[in-house]
C-alpha cells in the first residue's frame, strides 16, 4: 500500500470526515429540492402544504440535536470505561468504529438537512413540486433515522464492554497477521541474516524524528531503488521504535553512481517512505495487537481488578491467533515480487510468543488456573507449525513454569502444574 493510500485510509477512520461528508449530502438534498421545478414540468396529483413539511422538519431538527448530544456523551463514557477497564491502546479501535461513525453521521446529516429545509421553506423558495419532493425526501430521511436508531440501540448494549473491546483487538490483530502471512516481507524479499549494516561506504537512510514506525511505502522505496540502481535493505519494520538519526535502511552496492544532489534527493524520498508517529498502529504491525491483548490480560490480573477469567480468555485468543500464524497463509512473494530489490526483516516466532504470553506468565505466575490454561495453550501450539514455531512454544512453556515455581506458595499447585507439563 502506498503512503498516500495509507493516509487516506487513516483519514477515513476519523469521525468528523464521515460526518462532514454526510452533512454536506444532507444540505445538498435540501437545497436541490428547491430547483426541482425546472426538471419536473408536469403537475403533481397532490399538493403538500408548507406547514406540513415544516412541522416534520422541525421535529427532526430538535430531536436529532438531542440524540446527537446524548450519543456523544455515551461515546465519551464508553471510551473512558474502555480506558479504565481494558487498556488505553484499545480505545483507538473504538474511536474508529464504523457503526458509531455511520450512526452519528446520519444524525448530523439529518439535522443539517432539516435546518436547511426549514430555512429554504421559510423564504418561499420551494414551489408545489419542490415541496412534494422535499416531503418525499423527508420521509426517506425519517426511515433512515429509525433504522439508525435501532442499530444504535443494539450497538450501545455492547460498546465499551471488556469482551466487545477484546473482540475488536483480536479482529484487528487477525487482519494484520493475515496480511503479513500473505506478504511476509511487505512485498519485498527476506533480509538475509548475514546482511548487517556496513561500517562505512553504504548510504544510510536515517530517521528525522522520534517515534514508532507506522507504515513503510515499499512502492516509493522500489522507485528509489530503480533510480539508484541498487538494492535497499530495511533495518526496521512497522512497530519499531526509532529516534533521531536511527538507521532505517541502507543502500547496497550501486550499479551506477548518482550525482551528489540526486543522491541527497533520493535519500530524502526514501526517508519520506517511512511514516513515523507517536503511537503504534495495528495496520502493518501484528505484534502490536498481540501486545495489546496481553496488556488487557495483565490489567485483569492486577490486584485492583483480580479478573483471572479475562486473562484466561486472552490466552485463548492469543492461541487462536498464533495457530493462524502456524498454519501460514498464501504468500504472494513466492509467485510475484513487486518490490524484488527491497529486503525486509522477517517476524520471528520468538518475538510473537513473547508478545503473546510472557507478561501473562509473569503477572499470573501465582494463579494455578491461569498457569494451567497457559500451559495447555502452549502445549497445543508446540504441536503446530515448523520447528522454529514449536521451539518458541517450548521455550515459553519453560519460562512460564519457572515463574510459577518461584511464585506459587502451595506445593500442591506446583505438583499439579508439574504433572501436566511432564505428561
pTM: 0.85
Pair 337, 190: CB distance under 8 Å: no
Of 55-59, 259-263, 383-387, least confident by mean pLDDT is: 259-263
In a domain, 20, yes or no: yes
Q: Which residue, of 236, 257, 277, is where some domain finishes?
A: 277
Q: Can you read off the three cell numbers belonging to residue 367?
A: 494463579
CA nearest to 29, candidates 113, 107, 106: 113
Residue 32 contacts residue 136 (beta carbons within 8 Å): no
| Section 361-378 average pLDDT | 94
Q: Which domain holds residue 87?
A: 3-160
What is the rounded (10 degree) CA torsion for 290, 295, 298, 304?
-160
pLDDT reported for residue 85: 81
Residue 166 lies in a domain: no
Statement to judge: residues 115 and 198 lie in one domain: no
206, β-bridge pairs: 247
Mean pLDDT (whole number) for 119-128? 77
Residues 79 and 201 in one domain: no
- The answer to the question of residue 165 being in a domain is no
In the numeric block, which cell numbers belong to residue 178?
A: 493475515
Is the predicted pLDDT of residue 40 greater than 70, yes or no?
Answer: no
Task: Answer yes or no: are the C-beta atoms of 254 and 261 closer than 8 Å.
Answer: no
> Which residue is associated with the grid cell 522520534?
210
Residue 243 confidence (pLDDT): 93
Alpha helix segments (H runs only) across 33-127: 50-85, 88-95, 98-122
Query: Of 262, 277, 292, which closes a domain?
Result: 277
Residue 123 C-alpha cell reads as 423564504
**413 in the same domain as 305:** yes
Same domain, 18 and 117: yes
Residue 90 and residue 86: Cα distance in Å, rounded?
7
Assess whether 129 and 189 both reside in one domain. no
Indicate if 256 and 292 belong to the same structural domain: no
Confidence band of 333 (pLDDT split at 50, 70, 90)? very low
User: Which residues face 215 on adjacent strands?
Assistant: 275
- Least confident among 40-49, 134-143, 226-235, 390-399: 40-49
Based on the fold, state whether residues 120 and 50 are members of the same structural domain.
yes
**Cα(55)–Cα(51) distance, rounded to whole angstroms?**
6
- Please name every residue paired with 242 in a beta bridge, in sequence order, or none if there are none: 211
Does residue 155 sit in the same domain as residue 204? no
Place of cell 522454529: 388
Q: Which three-class secondary structure state does DSSP give residue 134? A: helix
Torsion sign across C-alpha atoms 76, 78, 81, 87: negative
* Residue 37 pLDDT class (50, 70, 90 cuts): low
Same domain, yes or no: 99 and 57: yes
Kindly tell me if the per-residue pLDDT of 126 is higher than 50: yes
Question: What's the whole-number average pLDDT of the chain?
Answer: 86
Chain centroid to CA 373? 28
The SS3 of residue 269 is helix
Q: Percentage of the chain with pLDDT > 90? A: 38
CA distance 249 to 204: 6
Asked if 7 and 142 sit in the same domain, the reply is yes
Q: Give the separation between CA 308 and CA 311, rounded to whole angstroms.
A: 5
The answer as to whether 314 is a domain residue is yes
Do both 267 and 138 map to the same domain?
A: no
User: Is 320 found in the same domain as 230?
Assistant: no
Domain count, the chain: 3
Amino acid at each position: 500500500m502506498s503512503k498516500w493510500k495509507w493516509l487516506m485510509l487513516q483519514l477515513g477512520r476519523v469521525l468528523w470526515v464521515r460526518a462532514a461528508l454526510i452533512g454536506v449530502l444532507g444540505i445538498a438534498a435540501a437545497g436541490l429540492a428547491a430547483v426541482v421545478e425546472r426538471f419536473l414540468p408536469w403537475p403533481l396529483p397532490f399538493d403538500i402544504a408548507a406547514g406540513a413539511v415544516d412541522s416534520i422538519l422541525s421535529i427532526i431538527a430538535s430531536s436529532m440535536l438531542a440524540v446527537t448530544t446524548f450519543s456523544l456523551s455515551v461515546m465519551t463514557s464508553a471510551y473512558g470505561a474502555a480506558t479504565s477497564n481494558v487498556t488505553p491502546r484499545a480505545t483507538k479501535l473504538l474511536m474508529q468504529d464504523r457503526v458509531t461513525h455511520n450512526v452519528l453521521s446520519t444524525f448530523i446529516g439529518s439535522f443539517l438537512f432539516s435546518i436547511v429545509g426549514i430555512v429554504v421553506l421559510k423564504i418561499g423558495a420551494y414551489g408545489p413540486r419542490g415541496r412534494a419532493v422535499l416531503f418525499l425526501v423527508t420521509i426517506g430521511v425519517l426511515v433512515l433515522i429509525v433504522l439508525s436508531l435501532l442499530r444504535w440501540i443494539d450497538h450501545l448494549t455492547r460498546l465499551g464492554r471488556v469482551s466487545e473491546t477484546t473482540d475488536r483487538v483480536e479482529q484487528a490483530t487477525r487482519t494484520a497477521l493475515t496480511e503479513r502471512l500473505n506478504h511476509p516481507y511487505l512485498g519485498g524479499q527476506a533480509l538475509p541474516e548475514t546482511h548487517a549494516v556496513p561500517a562505512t561506504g553504504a548510504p544510510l537512510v536515517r530517521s528525522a524524528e522520534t517515534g514508532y514506525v507506522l507504515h513503510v511505502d515499499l512502492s516509493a522505496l522500489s522507485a528509489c531503488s530503480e533510480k539508484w540502481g541498487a538494492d535497499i535493505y530495511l533495518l526496521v519494520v512497522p512497530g519499531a521504535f526509532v529516534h533521531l538519526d536511527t538507521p532505517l535502511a541502507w543502500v547496497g552496492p550501486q550499479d551506477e553512481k548518482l550525482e551528489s544532489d540526486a543522491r541527497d534527493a533520493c535519500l530524502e524520498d526514501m526517508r519520506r517512505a517511512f511514516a513515523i508517529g507517536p503511537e503504534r498502529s495495528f495496520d502493518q504491525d501484528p505484534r502490536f495487537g498481540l501486545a495489546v491483548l496481553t496488556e488487557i490480560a495483565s490489567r485483569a490480573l492486577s490486584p485492583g481488578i483480580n479478573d483471572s477469567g479475562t486473562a484466561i480468555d486472552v490466552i485463548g485468543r492469543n492461541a487462536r491467533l498464533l495457530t493462524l500464524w502456524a498454519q501460514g497463509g498464501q504468500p504472494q512473494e513466492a509467485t510475484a515480487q513487486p518490490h524484488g530489490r527491497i529486503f525486509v526483516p522477517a517476524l520471528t516466532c520468538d518475538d510473537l510468543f513473547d508478545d503473546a504470553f510472557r507478561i501473562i506468565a509473569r503477572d499470573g505466575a501465582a494463579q494455578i488456573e491461569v498457569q494451567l490454561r497457559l500451559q495447555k495453550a502452549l502445549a497445543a501450539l508446540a504441536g503446530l507449525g515448523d520447528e522454529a514455531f514449536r521451539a518458541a512454544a517450548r521455550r515459553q512453556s519453560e519460562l512460564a513454569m519457572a515463574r510459577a515455581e518461584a511464585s506459587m506458595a502451595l506445593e500442591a499447585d506446583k505438583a499439579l502444574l508439574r504433572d501436566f507439563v511432564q505428561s
